[in-house]
Amino acid sequence: MAETVLEIRGLKIEATTYPPGEPPVDIVIVEDISLSLEKGKVMGLIGESGAGKSTIGLSAMAYGRGGVRITGGEVLLNGRDILKSGARGLRGLRGREVTYVAQSAAAAFNPAKKLMEQVIEATLKHGLCSRSEAEARAVALFGKLGLPDPERIGNRYPHQVSGGQLQRVMTAMALCPEPSLVIFDEPTTALDVTTQIDVLAAIKDAIHATGVAALYITHDLAVVAQVSDEIRVLRGGQTVEHGTTREIIEAPRQDYTRALVSVRSIEHQPKPPADPVLAADGISARYRGTRFDVLSEVSVDIAAGHTLAIVGESGSGKSTLARVITGLLPPHSGEIRFNGRALRPSLPERSKTDLRELQMIYQMADVAMNPRQTVGTIIGRPLEFYFGLKGEARRKRVQDLLDQIEMGKGYIDRYPAELSGGQKQRVCIARALAADPSVIICDEVTSALDPLVADGILKLLLDLQAQQGVSYLFITHDLATVKAIADSIAVMYRGRVVRYGTKDQVLAPPFDDYTDLLLSSVPEMKLGWLENVIANRKMESAGN
C-alpha cells in the first residue's frame, strides 16, 4: 500500500452570487466530494464548465477563488488537515508541498522577469536549497520536459518562447520545489492540437520521473485518458462516476459518462456533387501596413448545400480567409465568386442582397450578440432589414426560427445573459438563418462549448442543411468536428492550402507531413494512444 498524499473527505464549497436586482444568494458549488490520491498517481478530474473541477482542484491548496468558501469537510495533505492550517501554515505549504499549473501560461508569467527567476522563486522563498542548487534543479527539469537548450532557456523572457514551451516551463516551476502534489488546471487546453501532444507527453514523463502525485483537471476526456491512472467524472459539483482510466474509457457505467466517451458520434451520408455556390480564386491578402502575405494563393470552393471545412492551427490564416470572403479585408489579388459572378472585394461596395446571402456565426456567442437587445430583436433585425418584416409578422417569423433551432416558446423576450452557452449559439444560428442565406460562415462555432453541447449544435447545423440546402464554410482547428460535419476539407498551413479535396480524399493516405501531424494529434479515447503517436511522428509541430 503506497502512502496517501491527498485525502479529501466530505468537501463542501459554497459561493455567493449577486443576481441583478435581487438580494445575494448563497449557492452550493461542490457537495460531498471525497477522494484520495496515492504517491506517484495521477487523478483526472473531468467535467463540463461549472462542474466544480477547478474549485475542487484549488481546494487541495485550501484556496477558494473569487468569493468561493470552503464550508465543510476535510482536506488532508500528507495526513494534516490543511483547512485548519491558518494563513501562516498555508504560506509554508503552498508552493512547497503542493503546487499549481494554470491554464494560460502567457497570463500566469510575469512578462518583466526572466523565466529562471520565476521558476526557482518559490523554491528559494521557502529556503529549500541554495540558488545554484535550485538553478541546477530547474535546468534538469527543463531537460526532462524536452525544452530546447535547457542550459540557457531560463535566461529568456516569457514572450521569447512559444506557448507550448511556456506551459512546460510552468510545469518545471511547479516541480522545482519537489512537492508531493501538483495540480494541473487545463494545462493544454489553450494550445494547438499539434503542440498539445508534445506538452502532454512532456508532462506525463515528468510526472512519472519525479514520482509526484497529480490532480489533472480538464474537460477533454481523451486528453485525461492519456495521462491519468484514475478518472473522476464530475457534474454539478458531484461525482458522477469514479474508476480507473481503463474502466471509465472502456466500460463506463453511467449514462453521462457514456455520452462523454461516445461524443462526436455524428455521421452524415456523402452528398452527390453540386455546382459551387461560392468560390475563392487565388486569394492573397495582407493586413494594412504589412508586407507579409497572411494568405497566399488560396483557392477553394463550396458546393451548394455542402460543407467545406477549413482546418489548421492558430495563425494558419483560416479566420483571415473568412474576413476576406465577408469583405472585411479586401484581398490584394484574386477574387471571390458567388454563383458564378465576382463579388465586390470590400464590404461597403456590396449590395444588400450579396450581404444577405453570406452570413456569419462567431466563436464567442456571448460577444456576438448585443447584451442590451432581446432575442426577439436580435433575430428580428435581419428580417426587418432585409425583408421589411414588421410587428406581428416579424414576431411570428422569429418564433418560427426559434422553433427551428429547437428552443421553442418563452425565449423571445429574454436577454442573452439569461441564456446558456449552447442557447446563445443557437440564437446566433437563428440570426444567420433569418437572412435566408446561401452560405453561412461558421468560425470555430463549437470550440467554446462543452462537448455535449457542441454535439447538439453540430447536429442542428446538419439538420438545417438537410432542410434548407444552405452551404457552410466551417472554420475549425478540431478534426473531430471536421470528420463529423465536412463534405470537403481544406487543410491550411501558414497561409496556404496544403491539402484540399473531398473528405474521403483528404482523410485517406498517403498524407503529406503536415496533414499527418494534424490528424495524428487529435487525442483519441484509447489507452496508450499518446505513446503511439509520439513514436510514429514524421514532423515536429510549428509551435514547439
Q: Which of 190, 197, 278, 360 binds another protein (CB under 8 A)?
A: 360
How far apart CA 363 and CA 324 sit, in angstroms, is: 17
Q: Which is nearer to another protein, 27 or 452 (CB)?
A: 27
372 sits near another protein (criterion: CB under 8 A) = yes
Asked if 347 is part of the footprint of another protein (rule: CB under 8 A), the reply reads: yes
Question: What 3-state DSSP class applies to 359?
Answer: strand
3-state SS string over 271-308?
A: CCCCCEEEEEEEEEECCCCCCCCCEEEEEEEEECCCEE
- Half-sphere exposure of residue 248, counting CA atoms within 13 Å on the CB side? 28
398 contributes a contact to another protein by CB under 8 A = no
Q: How many binding residues for another protein (CB under 8 A)?
A: 32
Say if strands 307-311 and 488-493 run parallel, antiparallel, or are unpaired.
Answer: parallel
Burial readout 96-122 (b: 16 or more C-beta within 10 A, e: otherwise): bbbbbbbbbbeebbeeeeebbebbbbb
**Out of 367, 393, 452, 466, the residue judged to bind another protein by CB under 8 A:** 367
Element (H, E) at 235: strand 230-235
Cα–Cα distance, 295 to 284 (Å, whole number): 5
Cell numbers given for 11: 468537501
Contact with another protein (CB under 8 A): which of 163, 380, 382, 543? 382
Cβ nearer to another protein, comparing 319 with 515: 319
Interface with another protein by CB under 8 A: which range of 41-49, 50-58, 178-186, 370-378?
A: 370-378
Which one, 163 or 380, has the nearer CB to another protein?
A: 380
Q: How far apart are CA 518 and CA 498, in angstroms?
A: 12
Kindly state the cell numbers that stand for 81. Answer: 488537515
Segments of 206-365 assigned E as strands: 213-218, 230-235, 238-244, 276-285, 295-303, 307-311, 333-338, 341-342, 358-361
Is residue 370 a contact residue for another protein (CB under 8 A)? yes
Is 362 a binding residue for another protein by CB under 8 A? The answer is: yes
Based on CB atoms, which residue is closest to another protein, 272 or 371? 371
What are the backbone dihedrals phi and psi of residue 59, each rounded to the nearest 5 degrees, phi first?
Answer: -65, -20
Least separation in angstroms between CB 414 and another protein: 14
Distance CA 171, CA 199 (A): 10
How far the first Cα of the chain sits from its last, in Å, is 39
Least CB distance to another protein at residue 343 (A) = 13
Residues 6+ apart with CB under 8 A from 393: none
Does 350 interact with another protein (rule: CB under 8 A)?
Answer: yes
Q: Which amino acid is at 401?
A: L
Task: Determine the interface stretch with another protein among 51-59, 76-84, 145-153, 378-386 (rule: CB under 8 A).
Answer: 378-386
Task: Answer yes or no whether residue 49 interacts with another protein by CB under 8 A.
Answer: no
Site string for another protein, 62-101 (x = CB under 8 A): -----x----------------------------------
Q: CB neighbours (10 Å) of residue 468? A: 13
The strand pair at 68-77 and 80-81 is best described as antiparallel
Min CB(367)–another protein separation in Å: 5
Positive or negative torsion for Cα 134, 138, 139, 140:
positive
Which parts of 300-329 interact with another protein (CB under 8 A)? 326-328
Does position 20 bind another protein by CB under 8 A?
yes
Sheet harboring 341-342: ordered strands across?
295-303, 276-285, 333-338, 341-342
Q: Which helix (H) or strand (E) holds 502?
A: strand 496-502
Residues whose CB falls within 8 Å of the CB of residue 527, separated by 6 or more in sequence, listed in order: 225, 245, 246, 249
Judged by beta carbon, residue 367 or residue 393, the one nearer another protein is: 367
Task: Identify which range of 163-171, 187-195, 369-377, 449-457 contacts another protein by CB under 8 A.
Answer: 369-377
Q: Closest distance between another protein and the C-beta of residue 422, in Å?
A: 17
Q: How far is the CB of 330 from another protein (least distance, A)?
A: 14
Q: Considering beta carbons, is residue 94 or 356 the nearer one to another protein?
A: 356
Which of 28, 90, 129, 355 is close enough to bind another protein by CB under 8 A?
Answer: 355
Site track for another protein across 124-163, x = CB under 8 A: ----------------------------------------
364 binds another protein (CB under 8 A): yes
Q: Which of residues 418-447 bind another protein (CB under 8 A)?
A: 431, 435
Show the binding pattern over residues 188-207: x = contacts another protein (CB under 8 A), - = does not: --------------------
Identify which of residues 234 and 369 has a Cβ nearer to another protein in the complex: 369
User: Which one of residues 9, 114, 156, 381 is an interface residue with another protein (CB under 8 A)?
Assistant: 381
CB 354 within 8 A of CB 341: no
Tell me whether residue 280 or residue 435 sits nearer to another protein (CB atom). 435
Binding mask 204-243 for another protein (x = CB under 8 A): ----------------------------------------
Q: Does 287 bind another protein (CB under 8 A)?
A: no
Q: Which residue has the cell 532557456?
A: 153
Cα 7 → chain centroid: 30
385 binds another protein (CB under 8 A): yes
Kind of pairing, strands 230-235 and 213-218?
unpaired
Strands 42-46 and 68-77: unpaired
CB of 504 to another protein, least distance (A): 33
- Cell numbers 455542402: residue: 306
Binding site for another protein (CB under 8 A): 18, 20-23, 67, 326-328, 347, 350, 352, 355-356, 358-360, 362, 364, 367-373, 381-382, 385, 417, 431, 435
